[in-house]
């Protein structure tokens, strides 16, 4: 609209080629081409003969009226007929107008030079006329292609000048808004756009593409409706934007659907948090009524609630993102938030933005919680100078992207490998189960626990 979203020529209503141009470039049979060839040369011959009879021609070789005839034949009939007209012109002039007439007597030297020079000049004109015909045909095909392309879309397509001014009437705007021409001339069309959305229709900083959503008064609905516009610029020889071509489509139902979806997602997040809080409270209140001194029960309750909150944080990220994937960095930071609050200076968390599927993201959240819990109870975070490094990388491979997540502890007590695999280890090793070429490595290195989780994420792993 403004500088890219105005309304001038609706789809299928832009002025087409003039009837004269269409007449010039339309296909013709050989018989019709011959008619044009004979007619043009006959007309030129008749005019030349009349001028000679009236004494109006002073040229020794009268060719002046044959050149327009040859150009017309080239435009109307094509290149081969243009050259045929050139050859026939030389023959006619030689036979009929070079004295003695109707004798085919060999011309004088000066007459030969005149005919030769005229032929040399005429050849490029024939080629240029034929090129003009082809260019006009190409433009006509391009316009037809554009019209057909627009006709199979549901969009309204229009053109505006570089400043967003409307300069002529077109029915599409009236059909949608009910405003008749010239009431929307220049920038008066903005009156049909909702006041709060007018600023969105000004691509002041756009130079290649502009998109906007706005409310437009719809006369049929007698109410505001949401529309979506997409505009691209046309530049002049100086590089300045002279016109914008814009497509506008009705987005009302999709917009309302998105708003309802946002409300449902917000409600779902709220209910999820309430559910986690209720489970947390029930578990703690149930523990208070049990045996007061039961370390085993306390340990179980702490692990259970920790895992519950880790899953809740990962699920909340998925709901907040309104898709079926989760960003790995946001998920790891949300999961480790309860631990980093007390040990912020001892954590280093970094890596690129990567989208993971919801199942893999949720599994990784549980793994991070298990590793952090272990670090607090037995690992690096039991020592004042202990540190935990959580890093991840993403490397392109043949069938997708190789994601590697590394957990490394330093500065704590020397880790001791357990005699048998516990639940936490099984949780960690299950993370890449849904991904391709997944592997998990857990090493109890002298300077601290090391864990590497790697898998190949395909293009459809984190569909949004």
Residue closest to 350 by CA, chosen among 333, 375, 326, 367? 333
d(Cα 237, Cα 210) in Å, to the nearest integer?
Answer: 21
Domain count, the chain: 3
Give yes or no: residues 261 and 386 share one domain. yes
Of 150, 174, 195, the last residue of a domain is: 150
- Summarised one tens digit per residue, pLDDT across range 257-270 is 776 766 665 666 55
Burial of 92 (0-12, 13-18, 19+ CB in 10 A): middle
- The distance of Cα 80 from the centroid of its chain, to the nearest Å, equals 45
pLDDT for 420 = 82
pLDDT for 287 = 59
Give yes or no: residues 290 and 424 share one domain. yes
pLDDT for 71 = 92
Q: Is residue 39 part of a domain?
A: yes
List of residues 6+ apart from 160 with CB closer than 8 A = 1, 3, 4, 5, 6, 7, 8, 166, 243, 244, 246
The winner for highest mean pLDDT among 22-26, 53-57, 289-293 is: 22-26
Give the strand pairing for 387-397 and 347-350.
parallel
Give yes or no: residues 70 and 214 share one domain. no
Q: Which residue has the higher pLDDT, 317 or 1?
A: 317
The boundaries of the domain holding residue 170 are 156-253
Give yes or no: residues 277 and 377 share one domain. yes
* Least confident residue range of 54-68, 96-110, 273-287, 343-357: 273-287
The pLDDT-based confidence of 146 (bands split at 50, 70, 90) is low
Q: Which residue has the higher pLDDT, 319 or 123?
A: 123
Q: What per-residue string of b and e applies to 177-212 under the rule 16 or more CB within 10 Å gives b?
A: bebeeeebeeeebbebbeeebbebbbbeebeeebeb
Give yes or no: residues 135 and 165 share one domain. no
DSSP E strands, 109-222: 156-161, 210-218
Q: Which residue has the higher pLDDT, 361 or 80?
A: 80
What is the number of residues in the chain? 464
d(Cα 108, Cα 304) in Å, to the nearest integer?
Answer: 115
Q: Is residue 263 part of a domain?
A: yes
d(Cα 11, Cα 30) in Å, to the nearest integer?
Answer: 36
- Summarised one tens digit per residue, pLDDT across range 201-256 is 776 556 777 888 888 888 888 889 888 888 888 887 888 888 877 778 888 887 77
In this model, does residue 295 exceed pLDDT 80?
A: no
Q: What per-residue string of b and e applies to 291-317 under the rule 16 or more CB within 10 Å gives b?
A: eeeeeeeeeebeeebbbbbbbbbbbbb
The winner for highest mean pLDDT among 18-32, 57-71, 392-406, 409-423 is: 392-406
* Least confident residue range of 33-37, 95-99, 370-374: 95-99
pLDDT for 15 = 46
pLDDT for 1 = 44
Q: Is residue 463 part of a domain?
A: no
Q: What per-residue string of b and e applies to 130-147 under the rule 16 or more CB within 10 Å gives b?
A: beebeebeeebeeeeeee
Q: Is residue 3 part of a domain?
A: no
User: In the 8-state DSSP scheme, what is residue 414?
Assistant: P
The stretch 450-464 carries a mean pLDDT of: 74
Give yes or no: residues 127 and 175 share one domain. no
Give yes or no: residues 140 and 218 share one domain. no
The token duo for 377 is: 């109870």
Q: Yes or no: say if 178 and 219 are a contact pair by the CB < 8 Å rule.
A: yes
Q: What separation in angstroms does the CA of 109 have from each of 69, 106, 334, 390?
A: 26, 9, 99, 97
The stretch 118-147 carries a mean pLDDT of: 85
Q: Is residue 14 part of a domain?
A: no
Roughly what angle, to the nearest 10 degrees, separates helices 328-340 and 358-377? Answer: 30
Q: Is residue 357 part of a domain?
A: yes
Give yes or no: residues 288 and 420 share one domain. yes
Q: What separation in angstroms does the CA of 100 have from each of 41, 46, 111, 116, 457?
A: 21, 18, 13, 20, 92
d(Cα 48, Cα 43) in Å, to the nearest integer?
Answer: 9
d(Cα 60, Cα 367) in Å, to the nearest integer?
Answer: 102
pLDDT for 88 = 93
- Summarised one tens digit per residue, pLDDT across range 41-55 is 999 999 988 888 887
The stretch 44-71 carries a mean pLDDT of: 82
Q: Yes or no: say if 383 and 418 are a contact pair by the CB < 8 Å rule.
A: no
pLDDT for 13 = 43
- Number of alpha carbons in the 13 Å side-chain half-sphere of residue 314: 26
Of 215, 230, 253, the last residue of a domain is: 253
List of residues 6+ apart from 124 with CB closer than 8 A = none
pLDDT for 269 = 58
Across all residues in the chain, what is the average pLDDT?
79
Give yes or no: residues 143 and 46 share one domain. yes
Q: Is residue 2 part of a domain?
A: no
Give yes or no: residues 102 and 175 share one domain. no
The CATH number assigned to the domain holding 206 equals: 3.30.450.20
Give yes or no: residues 425 and 305 share one domain. yes
Of 253, 286, 318, the last residue of a domain is: 253
What is the helix (H) or strand (E) element at residue 146, kind and residue range?
helix 109-151
The CATH number assigned to the domain holding 412 equals: 3.30.565.10
Give yes or no: residues 50 and 98 share one domain. yes
pTM (2 decimals)?
A: 0.42
Q: Is residue 8 part of a domain?
A: no
């Amino acid at each position: 609209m403004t500088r890219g979203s105005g309304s001038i020529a609706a789809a299928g209503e832009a002025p087409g080629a003039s009837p004269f141009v269409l007449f010039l470039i339309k296909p013709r049979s050989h018989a019709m081409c011959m008619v044009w060839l004979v007619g043009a040369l006959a007309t030129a011959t008749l005019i030349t003969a009349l001028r000679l009879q009236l004494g109006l021609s002073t040229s020794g070789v009268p060719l002046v009226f044959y050149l327009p005839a040859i150009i017309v034949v080239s435009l109307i009939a094509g290149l081969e007929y243009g050259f045929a007209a050139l050859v026939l012109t030389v023959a006619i002039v030689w036979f009929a107008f070079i004295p003695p007439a109707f004798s085919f007597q060999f011309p004088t030297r000066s007459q030969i030079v005149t005919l030769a020079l005229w032929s040399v000049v005429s050849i490029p004109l024939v080629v240029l006329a034929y090129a003009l015909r082809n260019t006009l045909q190409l433009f006509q095909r391009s316009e037809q292609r554009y019209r057909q392309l627009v006709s199979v879309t549901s969009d309204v397509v229009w053109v505006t000048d570089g400043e967003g001014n409307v300069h002529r009437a077109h029915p599409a705007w009236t059909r949608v808004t009910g405003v008749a021409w010239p009431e929307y001339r220049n920038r008066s069309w903005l009156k049909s756009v909702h006041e709060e959305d007018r600023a969105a229709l000004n691509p002041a900083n756009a130079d290649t593409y502009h998109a906007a959503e706005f409310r437009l008064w719809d006369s049929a609905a007698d109410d505001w409706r949401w529309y979506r516009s997409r505009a691209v610029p046309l530049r002049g020889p100086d590089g300045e934007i002279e016109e914008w071509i814009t497509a506008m489509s009705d987005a009302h139902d999709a917009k309302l659907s998105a708003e309802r979806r946002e409300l449902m997602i917000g409600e779902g997040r709220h209910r999820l948090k309430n559910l986690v809080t209720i489970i947390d409270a029930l578990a703690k209140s149930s523990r208070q009524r049990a045996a007061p001194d039961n370390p085993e029960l306390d340990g179980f309750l702490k692990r259970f609630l920790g895992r519950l909150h880790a899953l809740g944080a990962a699920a909340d990220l998925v709901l907040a993102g309104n898709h079926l994937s989760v960003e790995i960095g946001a998920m790891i930071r949300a999961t480790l938030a309860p631990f980093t609050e007390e040990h912020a200076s001892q954590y280093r968390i970094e890596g690129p933005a990567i989208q993971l599927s919801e199942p893999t993201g949720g599994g990784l959240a549980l793994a991070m919680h298990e590793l952090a819990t272990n670090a607090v109870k037995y690992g690096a975070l039991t020592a004042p100078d202990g540190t935990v490094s959580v890093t991840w990388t993403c490397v392109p491979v043949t069938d997708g992207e190789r994601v590697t997540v590394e957990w490394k502890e330093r500065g704590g007590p020397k880790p001791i490998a357990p005699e048998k695999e516990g639940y936490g280890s099984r949780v960690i090793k299950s993370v890449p189960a849904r991904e391709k070429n997944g592997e998990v490595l857990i090493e109890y290195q002298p300077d601290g626990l090391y864990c590497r989780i790697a898998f190949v994420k395909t293009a459809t792993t984190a569909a949004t």
